[in-house]
């Protein structure tokens, strides 16, 4: 490897991913899993509450996101203004968040305020009152943001891709329309909340110095039996109905750029090729020196950036390449992406290029484990998808052992040009 670098260059040490183990789970008396992630600076601690209450679990569209957004908008003990004031007095940051496969709350607090903050967290998570006035304001605000999203080419292309891949009737593929906001009521929120926000349906991560100190507080506030003892979520796969592959144009009036999103149906985390596919997409468009960045940005100058990812929800995986380009260049961009994929399907990558991807990925893994707050972020993706606490150890092994032959095989198996969805969002 040293041969590739000039004489004066310092020798490079092969990056090691470092310790990639996650802490084992401890449990509250009702069985709620808690992951204690130690170290970090004095005085600050992060506690995250994660519920199996993502978009996948809703029967009324928007119920998951709206319920989550309303958690801090009033409880049976305090109105919206008061609860927010109580939270803000502690200096803590409360960030409710709802995603496709989970929803919950992140709290970051000064350790000295832990007592108050945990009691407030219990209050907003388990006793929200969903007042009508705040509900109407939340809907208006989200409606406004929704209308702004209609004008964003990147947002439109993403929606159309998931619609094509998963089907309109599934929670992953459903595209929101204005009527969805109009028909949503607080009753839907009450229903969604009582079905999903309870101890038996959650887990907790604690990140910071001496995370054990939080356990008695968690026991006090989150060990209630609720509707029964904790149980592992049972995932039932929705009935996916994929569109036929090909070009889908999505009109976004007056846009000066178009978003090009090219994608495929992928694989889920339990598939033996999942980790290898991560390496393949990294090589294609996962870092600054990747094939697509070099070709489309650094050689052609068509775009500010182009990226490729392989990911998965529950029961369905996806591969996507996305970029924003001048309207005039979108056809050339698709052609260049196709060419690059053809190269990777036909020729073996060089050992040098594969080594760059290996080393870069090892650095990425090491950064994921750099500090307790990052580890807390990483463990969420693992627990939500039951990917195994040894996920990154296995990933590092795959990165080390993958061969140019395997990479070529992956491109031939998963990047079939005839099966690609090509979404173009922009002015016709």
Q: Does 253 bind other proteins (CB under 8 A)?
A: yes
Looking at beta carbons only, is 328 or 348 nearer to other proteins? 328
Q: Does 137 bind other proteins (CB under 8 A)?
A: yes
**Residues sharing a CB contact under 8 Å with residue 127, sequence separation 6 or more, in sequence order:** 75, 76, 77
Query: Which residues on neighbouring strands pair with residue 413, listed in sequence order?
Result: none
Q: Which of 22, 15, 37, 23 is nearest to 393 (CA)?
A: 22
Sole binder of other proteins in the list 77, 271, 367, 400 (CB under 8 A): 367
**Smallest distance from the beta carbon of 281 to other proteins, in angstroms?**
15
**Smallest distance from the beta carbon of 345 to other proteins, in angstroms?**
23
**Smallest distance from the beta carbon of 184 to other proteins, in angstroms?**
17
Cα separation of 318 and 325, whole Å?
Answer: 22
In the window 201-220, what residues touch other proteins (CB under 8 A)? none
Site string (286-315) toward other proteins, x via CB under 8 A:
-xxx-------xxxxxxxx-----------
In the window 82-111, what residues touch other proteins (CB under 8 A)? 84-85, 87-93, 108-110
Q: What is the DSSP letter of 339?
A: H
Range in contact with other proteins (rule: CB under 8 A) among 57-65, 191-199, 250-258, 413-421: 250-258
CB 283, CB 345: distance < 8 Å: no
Angle at 49 between CA 47 and CA 50, to 5 degrees: 140
Range in contact with other proteins (rule: CB under 8 A) among 6-14, 22-30, 221-229, 406-414: 6-14
Token digits of residue 63: 């119920």
Looking at beta carbons only, is 90 or 129 nearer to other proteins? 90
CB 360, CB 278: distance < 8 Å: no
Q: Does 355 bind other proteins (CB under 8 A)?
A: yes
Q: Which of 23, 17, 16 is nearest to 372 (CA)?
A: 23
User: How many residues form the binding site for other proteins (CB under 8 A)?
Assistant: 76
**Smallest distance from the beta carbon of 113 to other proteins, in angstroms?**
7
Cα separation of 428 and 422, whole Å?
Answer: 15
**Smallest distance from the beta carbon of 13 to other proteins, in angstroms?**
4
Token digits of residue 329: 């260049």
């Amino acid at each position: 490897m040293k041969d590739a670098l000039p004489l004066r260059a310092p020798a490079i040490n092969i990056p090691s991913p470092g310790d990639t183990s996650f802490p084992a789970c401890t449990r509250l008396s009702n069985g709620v899993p808690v992951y204690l992630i130690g170290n970090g600076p004095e005085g600050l601690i992060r506690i995250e509450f994660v519920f199996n209450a993502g978009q996948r679990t809703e029967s009324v569209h928007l119920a998951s996101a709206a319920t989550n957004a309303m958690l801090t908008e009033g409880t049976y003990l305090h109105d919206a203004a008061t609860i927010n004031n109580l939270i803000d007095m502690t200096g803590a940051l409360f960030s409710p968040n709802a995603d496709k496969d989970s929803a919950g709350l992140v709290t970051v607090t000064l350790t000295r305020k832990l007592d108050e903050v945990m009691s407030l967290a219990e209050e907003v998570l388990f006793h929200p009152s969903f007042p009508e006035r705040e509900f109407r304001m939340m809907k208006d605000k989200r409606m406004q943001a929704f209308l702004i999203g209609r004008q964003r080419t990147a947002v439109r292309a993403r929606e159309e891709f998931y619609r094509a891949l998963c089907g309109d009737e599934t929670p992953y593929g459903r595209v929101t329309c204005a009527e969805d906001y109009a028909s949503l009521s607080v009753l839907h929120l009450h229903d969604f909340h009582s079905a999903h926000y309870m101890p038996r349906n959650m887990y907790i991560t604690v990140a910071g110095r001496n995370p054990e100190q939080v356990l008695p507080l968690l026991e006090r506030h989150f060990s209630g039996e609720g509707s029964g003892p904790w149980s592992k979520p049972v995932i039932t796969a929705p009935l996916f109905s994929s569109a036929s592959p090909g070009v889908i144009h999505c009109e976004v009036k007056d846009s000066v750029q178009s978003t090009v999103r090219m994608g495929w149906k992928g694989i889920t985390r339990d598939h033996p090729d999942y980790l290898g596919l991560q390496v393949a997409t990294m090589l294609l468009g996962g870092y600054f020196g990747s094939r697509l960045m070099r070709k489309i940005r650094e050689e052609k100058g068509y775009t500010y950036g182009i990226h490729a990812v392989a990911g998965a929800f529950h029961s369905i995986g996806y591969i996507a390449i996305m970029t924003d380009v001048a309207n005039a260049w979108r056809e050339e961009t698709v052609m260049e992406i196709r060419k690059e994929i053809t190269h990777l399907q036909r020729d073996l990558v060089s050992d040098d290029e594969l080594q760059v991807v290996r080393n870069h990925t090892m650095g990425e893994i090491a950064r994921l484990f750099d500090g307790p707050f990052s580890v807390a972020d990483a463990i969420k993706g693992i627990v939500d998808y039951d990917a195994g606490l040894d996920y990154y150890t296995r990933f590092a092994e795959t990165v080390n052992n993958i061969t140019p032959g395997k990479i070529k095989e992956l491109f031939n198996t998963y990047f079939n040009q005839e099966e690609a969805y090509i979404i173009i969002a922009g002015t016709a």
